A and B are shown apart, each in its own frame.
Chain A
Amino acid sequence: MKKSHWATLLVFFVLIPLTLYLGTRLSGRSYYITGTLIILELMVPFFMAFEGRKPQARELVVVAVLSAIAIAGRVAIPIPHFKAAFAIIMLAGIAFGPETGFIVGAITAFASNFFYGQGAFTPWQMMGYGAGGMLAGFLFRRGWLPRNRWVMAAFGFAAVIVWVGPLLDCSHIFLTLGSTDWVGALGYLISGFWVNLVQGVCTMLVMLLFGIPLLEKLDRIKMKYGMMEDENGL
């Protein structure tokens, strides 16, 4: 058994229950602390798997390039608040599979905050982006969803509305709400909905117009690296 598998077991059966138990005994923003710790613990096995794989130079380079494009992409599109980052992350997942999708997502979120400012939301954003990229990888690589631009656009929209947006909202809710006030939480989710809707539409448009061209570019580079025969992502 690989190290990362042991880590997964450890996280699920020891660390997370322990965190939950300790969380109930904390005062203050215990929900935020507990939630953040669990998110960090959940990410550990993924990172360990990546480290354990001893990624090759070409894999590191492609992941770094995709992350940097996702971050720098906002300079290219002259529309304020228009972010193509999440779409690029999901396309990375679609092209190279779930593991790469997760790493591109998590690294993009983390690295971009070095340029635009870290915050209490950083781990949540890493999880949101990473899991989004991973899910896209699962669904499209396994052939459960076709590589069709309309399907990709719809998936992108749904992923932002249902997963990434609410997860980020949760970090704010846990940090700023008092006791578990479900009315308040709902209020936050609704007020965050419009922002998420805008981001969802952005992601959808990018997937629709840019998805297939980007995948073609990635295919070309796979050919150049001679890694077409390699089924497991990179």
Chain B
Amino acid sequence: MTNDPFSKCHPTVNFLYFLGVIGCGVLIQHPAYLAAGVLCGGLYYLLLNGRGGWRRILGLLPLFVLLAAINPLFNTQGQRILFRIFGRPYTLEALLYGGAIGAMFVSMMLWFGCYDRVLTGDKFTSLFGNLIPAISLLLVMVFRLVPHFIRKTRQIVGARRSIGKGVGEAASGADKLKHGLVVLGALTSWALEGSVVTGDSMRARGYGSARRSSFMIYRMTWADYALLAAMMGLLGLVIGFAAGGSAAAQFTPSLKIAPVSGFRALGLGAYWAYLLIPTVLYVKEAIQWHISRLKI
């Protein structure tokens, strides 16, 4: 687990932040905004994942090119025809549009990657523990059972192997499937049998005897409230400017992109600021830590 200060904020802050990022990211297709989304997303992704993050980012590059190049094949609108393929025009506008779609898709992948690292299962369930208690509890139970079952599956495979009932790498697909389903069946029997115990254990500890409350391990601090307020302010600015047309962009049939200059640059600035929040927190903490180390 990386030492990311934003991950330590209250889950409400995390959740609303990502809701804002993903909402804006999907809706706004102005190139400058898209570029901000990709760059900031990439930066935060790298902070969270360290060097291993480069591999995924580089892996997204071909996807971007593919999405950009494919769009003109379907979308033939546009004025500047680059060439014709299968008798259909391949236009510059459609290619740019494809690029915008690719950028949006790549930024979504990056931000969802960050989301997975920050808003872990226990944060999500503690966030919604009061609103949807039964479903939150269900999710928590599934989170516990999955690693438990994976371990048991390996035990069953090993146990069967050592009585001569395993399958090798070289076995045929049909044999592997048959063997796999036998293992799955054994796992199911074992799991259902265990579920009787779990059910007893829940009822023995009073499940269903009163209205459930939800233990909050995370507490909102004043820093969380301050951050939330800053987030909302910035997001309000972005939405306001976008509604005013500062972030409007049309690619086909003709290119119409709102200029980013003067007063309108404020919207873009707010967007950058919003997207950079986790990175800024990260850098700030790194510097503070460094200074406090120097003092000692």
Chain A interface residues toward B at CB < 8 A:
26-30, 32-33, 47, 50-51, 54-58, 60-65, 67-69, 71-73, 75-79, 82, 84, 103, 107-108, 110-111, 114-115, 117-120, 175-179, 181, 183-184, 187, 205-206, 209-210, 213-214, 217-218, 220-221, 224-225
Contacts and interface: CB of A to CB of B under 8 A. Distances in A.
Contacts of B149: 68-69, 72, 75
User: Looking at chain A's contact residues, is the secondary structure mostly helix, strand, loop, or mixed?
Assistant: helix
B59 interface: no
Contact of B27 (A28, A72, A79, A115): A28
Contacts of B77: 179
Contacts, number: 204
B27 A118 contact: no
Contacts of B19: none
Given A29-B26, A78-B180, A214-B185, A179 B75 contact: yes
A75 B153 contact: yes
B142 A107 contact: yes
Contacts of B218: none
Contacts of A32: 26
B178 A209 contact: yes
User: Looking at chain B's contact residues, is the secondary structure mostly helix, strand, loop, or mixed?
Assistant: helix
A114 B185 CA distance: 25
Contact of A51 (B26, B67, B133, B142): B133
Given A178-B98, A187-B73, 20 more contacts: A28-B28, A32-B26, A47-B132, A57-B198, A61-B141, A61-B199, A64-B145, A72-B149, A75-B149, A75-B153, A76-B183, A77-B181, A78-B179, A111-B146, A114-B120, A178-B71, A178-B94, A178-B252, A214-B188, A221-B196
Contacts of A76: 153, 156-157, 180-181, 183-184, 187
A206 B188 CA distance: 14
B176 A78 contact: yes
Contact of A179 (B120, B202, B252): B252
Interface string B168-191: 000001001111110111011101
A50 to B, nearest CB: 6
A21 to B, nearest CB: 16
B255 interface: no
Contacts of B134: 50-51, 54-55, 60
A196 B120 CA distance: 30
A209 B74 contact: no
A69 B202 contact: no
Interface string B141-169: 11101101110011011000000000100
A79 B146 contact: no
21 contacts: A27-B27, A27-B249, A28-B27, A28-B28, A29-B27, A51-B135, A61-B195, A65-B145, A76-B180, A78-B176, A78-B180, A79-B173, A79-B180, A111-B143, A118-B115, A175-B104, A176-B105, A177-B101, A214-B188, A220-B192, A225-B199
